[in-house]
Structure 1
């Protein structure tokens, strides 16, 4: 390398790295839920042959006996045929505390279960996967 090339190379500013857009999981909670999680979950159900599922995001009290006095939290409720499930986002954050209920025949849920408590990393794909796994554990998506 000649002296001139060394001088030019030394003066050349380093190439700027392209900034990655923020992850969709970093969007505000309701925006992420309405624009990403709900449509992705609906698509996942369609791939399982369930086209008539109704999904609704709303803020409400947890309908489990003994928890009526607790504050409202965001819930994603799903319903098809005689099956109803809900994922509760206690902290209004997908990375925060979450719970799950499921019932048949529009009954009031009797048990509140923890949901995704061991996951250190929470993203769209994992939320969809764990929801389907939990419902498959009930044998709601496939037979034995």
Structure 2
């Protein structure tokens, strides 16, 4: 090795500055990742009410409650969370059989202040529910009952 090479290798180099990677922005959790009751009370129920009002159902009352399903044959089933809608002499219920927006859901409706006689599955093909999708399916289901538009 030449003298220059020996001298160059013996000269200490200043330590390389360590660059810290920029801090990642922490994303707030998605609405759908919130606890079930919080999501339903703060997001789904108010958003559904607003969407129904935009469709012309001004006097609709929506409640989010935990209760038994009021259909004959379901008396022995445990209570489940429900979104209950009332407008004059018409009622509907969206049932959440699990405390999970991606869990099993059902629907029933009745008129003339009668108890519903049938229960139907609701959103059975959707693996991942979102707020927008749940509201869309609710509107489509109610429109199928002629609540939103007459054919």
Same fold (TM over 0.5): yes
How far did residue 81 of structure 1 move?
A: 2.2
How far did residue 13 of structure 1 move?
A: 1.7
The residue that corresponds to 1:54 in the other structure is 61
How far did residue 86 of structure 1 move?
A: 0.2
**Cα RMSD (Å) of the superposition?**
1.3
Q: Which runs of 5+ in 2 are unaligned?
A: 1-15
Deviation string 1:19-77 (CA, Å, 9 cap, x unpaired) is 11001111111111111111101100111111100001111111111111111111110
The residue that corresponds to 1:4 in the other structure is none
Aligned positions, number: 137
2:77 to 70, 75, 86: 70
The alignment's TM-score, normalised by the length of structure 1, stands at 0.90
Q: Does 1:101 align with 2:108?
A: yes
Pairs within 5 Å for 1:12-27: 12-27=19-34
- Larger CA Rg, structure 1 vs 2: 2
The alignment's TM-score, normalised by the length of structure 2, stands at 0.86
Q: Does 1:42 align with 2:49?
A: yes
